[in-house]
Chains A and B, each alone.
Chain A
Amino acid sequence: MTSGDAFFDPRAIATLAGRIREASEGLDRQVVLMEVCGTHTHAIAAAGLRRMLPPQVRLISGPGCPVCVTPVDYLDRAEALAALPGTIVCTFGDLVRVPSSRGSLEQARARGARIRVVYSPRDALEAARAEPGARVVFLAVGFETTAPTIVAAVEEAERERTRNFLILPGNKTVPPPLRALARDPQVRVSGVLLPGHVSVVTGSREFEFLPAEFGIPAVVVGFTPADVLRGVLELVEQLREGRAEVANLYGRVVTAEGNPHARALLEKFFEPADTAWRGLGTIPASGLALRRPWAHRDASRIAVELPEPVEPPGCRCGEVLKGAIDPPECPLFAAECTPETPVGACMVSSEGTCAAWHRHDRWAAGAAS
């Protein structure tokens, strides 16, 4: 067995599931644990972990998929930029099928827009170097994990004076929506599984406000089945004992302080800005905007004609993102809206809550018959 396999060891998993069951017997109510990282959502679905948990423990998904929370008008703007002569839009693969007002980036590409899928913001910078006559715009989405990689590419462009590399700012930070959800009476979160790789950058200390201000226990965990179950066990134990603190069970990569270089670069280029989250509305200081000295890197300053933003009618992604409803409560779920023909963003991303549920739900239907 290699070291990686230990995290998937069925015997260790079974022990953890058993301990969660035992610990849950001491609970006086059903507890609702929210994971706020789409990779957790995906890991939970992929390993079939939900079925291993006792009925007292309910897992819900928060706004942890950066694709799902990217508002329609951001995508509309990206499409409009890609249609400008001499402009190349580079994006992570995650965004290309997300519905916009006029279709999607994929459909815009079919209409002639120059849109490239890249693995890294550096690949977009490389595209700018290779075509000095073109303007290359990188779609800057993602949370604190991804945002530093984007400003690092901007920093590199500044150092070497690659003038034709721009970004369309759309990065978001995790704490503000968590704060908003903790205050939201519609959502009753008992504990939070914190995003492991966001915490690599921010440090676990960033989330101390959850227990301190709201009495909500939180745990930083990694992404293997064993990691996730250890996190669930930790939260159940804290809840049973009436404790609330931030536990770090991902100490192999997460520290209390985070990554100082990444944080310094973020601070240098970005400032907090009010920004819209699909489904959650505008959350104060939850977005990252380029500071004024870097305005020449800001593609949102390029004038483009935008359509009136069209949110898909009937789509309840917003409530799903808050964990206020489960996907099947949306009238479109599994009817008009499927992974093959997504209406809402939560169905597009493989780590979107609706996409994950779509698979789980169909499995459940099969098991019942």
Chain B
Amino acid sequence: MSRPDRILLAHGSGGRLTHSLVRDAFLPALDNPFLATMADSAVLPELPPGRPALTTDAFVVDPPVFPGGDLGYLSVCGTVNDLAVAGARPLWLTFAVILEEGLQGDLLLTFVRGAARAAAEAGVQVVAGDTKVVPRGKGDRMYAVTAGLGVVPDGRDVGDHRIRPGDAVLISGSLGDHGATIMASRHAIGGPGLRSDCAPLAALAEALLSSGAEVHSMHDPTRGGVAVTCNEVAERATARIVLDESRLPVRPEVAAVSEMLGLDPLYLASEGRILVWVAGGDADRAIEALRSHPLGCDATRIGWVEENRRGAVPVLLRTKVGGERPVDFLSGMDLPRIC
């Protein structure tokens, strides 16, 4: 396959170079009949029964290639996961990229292959795309914008409106692996066990939802991690969420990076975990269903939902030593600190 050594402005001009970039770099990796037409729109078959779910997301990450993934892989996973936690079965994605003039062809290929790998793992097709090039210095290597279309099957209702006091809060795996890996890369911290958890979660969510457990709501704790996600949920569900610090699964590598840089794993992003709110009595069944899938083998219960009390802190942490503290929407936890 021929591919450019470096991206030129002309690769985004819509002319012959754009055409050959799409043909040589994108089509072979993302291969499917819809994309292959290179038409203005992908005209898709009729949707399966259910309610359509549509989402969009933009991706910027520094470094763009990290242990466990890359910008392309991340952008497809992120969109698939947004659909999956809404209870939708993801079907089709679009993938638009903004490239910085001078981007190395190899790096572009890494991103495109990453996107293709994620799509194959998630069982979705990338059916439309676009490429633009900005002058050198006006962007940072590559940005990606995706949209995803899926269907919520009839009879399925997942959302924060269903959260009730007594619900159990579960997580499908350890906290903050993605965030810790990115921060470690930025500050020259390494280790063989440091790896982003980035993964497409559609099959895991499906395993959970088909287990018969009464799943009320699901979220992927990306930006701001479990702390911010729980605060958002508590606000929308007008309930109080209590987390048990001794039950929070944090891998030793993530704890070590957090300690070195003064970060809190509760605020670090995951890109391959689901937070689940499930009827309290069904917690064990839900954990079993999550653990039946390789991406959920470390699933565990981390907290519960209580009646909201006026003026009360929406998210509370029972600390390991037997104290309590609020878990804030705190800003400023994302910078390395010395104190």
Contact = CB atoms under 8 A, between A and B. Distances in A.
Do A and B touch (CB < 8 Å)?
Answer: yes
Interface of A: 8-10, 13-14, 38-39, 45-49, 51-52, 65-67, 92-94, 96-97, 117-119, 123, 142, 146, 225, 339-340, 348-351, 359-360, 362-363, 365-369
B330 A350 contact: yes
B186 to A, nearest CB: 8
Contacts of B57: none
Given A52-B322, A123-B187, A360-B325, 13 more contacts: A13-B322, A47-B320, A47-B321, A48-B321, A51-B324, A52-B323, A65-B339, A93-B336, A93-B337, A94-B339, A350-B332, A365-B311, A366-B316
A8 B320 contact: yes
B313 interface: yes
Interface in B317-339: 319-326, 328-333, 335-339
A363 B313 contact: yes
B309 interface: yes
Contacts, number: 100
B44 interface: no
Interface centre among A10, A14, A146 (most CB of B within 10 A): A10
B313 A366 contact: yes
Interface centre among A93, A97, A359 (most CB of B within 10 A): A93
Nearest to B331: A340
B323 A92 contact: no
18 contacts: A51-B323, A66-B339, A92-B337, A93-B335, A93-B336, A94-B335, A94-B337, A146-B338, A339-B328, A339-B330, A339-B331, A340-B331, A350-B337, A359-B326, A359-B328, A360-B325, A366-B311, A369-B309
Interface in B279-327: 309-313, 316, 319-326
Contacts of A14: 322
Contacts of A146: 338
A348 B323 contact: no
B65 interface: no
B252 to A, nearest CB: 9
> Which 9 residue pairs are nearest across A and B when measured between Cβ atoms?
A48-B323, A93-B335, A366-B312, A119-B187, A13-B321, A10-B322, A369-B311, A8-B320, A366-B313
A46 B324 CA distance: 8
B322 to A, nearest CB: 5
A8 B321 CA distance: 6
Contacts of B329: 340
B261 interface: yes
Contact of A46 (B325, B333, B335, B339): B325
Contacts of B338: 92, 94, 142, 146
Contact of B339 (A45, A49, A351, A367): A351
A126 B74 CA distance: 30
Contacts of B187: 119, 123
Contacts of B309: 366, 369
Nearest to B329: A340
Interface centre among A38, A359, A366 (most CB of B within 10 A): A366
A51 B339 CA distance: 23
A363 B331 CA distance: 18
A363 B323 contact: no
Contacts of B325: 45-48, 359-360, 363
A138 B316 CA distance: 38
B332 A339 contact: yes
Given A47-B321, A47-B323, A119-B187, A350 B313 contact: no
